[in-house]
Amino acid sequence: MAFTLAEIASRFGGRIAGDPQVLIRQVGTLERAGEGQIAFLANPRYRARLSATRAAAVIVAPDAEALTTKPRIVCDNPYAYFGHVSQLLNPAPEASPGVDPAARVAAGARIAPSARIDAGAVVEEGAEIGEGSWIGAGCYVGAGAAIGPGCRLHPSAIVYADCRIGARAVVHSGVVIGADGFGIAFEAERWVRIPQIGRVWIGDDVDIGANTTIDRGAIDDTVIEDGVKLDNQIQIGHNCRVGAHTAMAGFVGVAGSTDIGRHCRVGAAAIILGHLSICDRVEISAATVISHSIRKPGTYTGMFPSAEHSAWARNTAYVRHLAELARRVRALEKRLQQKDSGHD
């Protein structure tokens, strides 16, 4: 599969500088791309690599167009444009319809004629698999669950009973959707388990990384809206709502009953405590702990950088006494104000 720059630009827009008939067969990095490959420059720190690249063509922003004489596509967002080109050159494999004889599909399950069910997969009674969806080897789709059209469940993904996944989802191996949320109550020196009777409701075009878990609601549903992108090993607690087109990096933990807005970005290993509300267009830096609701869009950071241990211990000791220091400063300011007032 190959396309000229002109054909690529006709699909995705952008302006061509240089030979529009350069043939592109694959994408590559500025450092390693060669004949028939297209690379991109999105970060100004890598401009020096642009002059040395052996790529057949490059994708650049207008302010970098003059830095190379290579054939190039000029656009406002080179990284996103590169993503479109990579999808064009590396299309996802399509499902070959049919149910493998080694799969176990309940008589009352509804499997679209164009869907594929691989060996070892289990589809329980009343479950529904949409057109063109691909259920990988060893997957489990519980009773009454619904998988929309064009979905891909990679091997050993688990969807518990009555959960729903919309169209064109990508669910990687080890994902568990709809396990019980952490619902327990303390009584008489022991824990009482609270049945989790809600579901997980996932919108269209959602990607879920390997070993991520999304708990079912205690009473109401846990909801993941359209276009959400979740990295590997993320935990979404029960009754959470994640707004459309929000993205989370690996190891994020979201405690139960938290409402996260649309177009948010959550950095790796961030922790969001339960029963909070995060408004739209919030960016949370990596390793930040969010302990209060956020009502205003913006970037929020709360990290304690690493240091040599003895220095870290001293600094931590100072932080523990900040409240007392603030109280003493306020008292001192008050005495100074009183003194100045008396002098006047």
Q: Which of 281, 273, 328, 326 is nearest to 302 (CA)?
A: 273
- Report d(CA 119, CA 317) in Å as an integer: 58
Q: To which H or E segment does residue 88 belong?
A: helix 78-89
- Report d(CA 333, CA 323) in Å as an integer: 15
275 classed as catalytic? no
Other CB atoms closer than 10 Å to residue 252's CB: what's the count?
23
Catalytic residue among 84, 154, 238, 292: 238
Bridge-based pairing state of the strands 289-290 and 271-272: parallel
Residues 6+ away with beta carbon under 8 Å from 339: none
Q: Which of 48, 75, 50, 46 is nearest to 60 (CA)?
A: 75
Give helix then strand counts, H and E, for the chain: 5, 39
- Report d(CA 203, CA 196) in Å as an integer: 21
Q: Which of 312, 290, 309 is nearest to 300 (CA)?
A: 290
Beta bridge partners of 184: 193
Catalytic residue IDs: 238
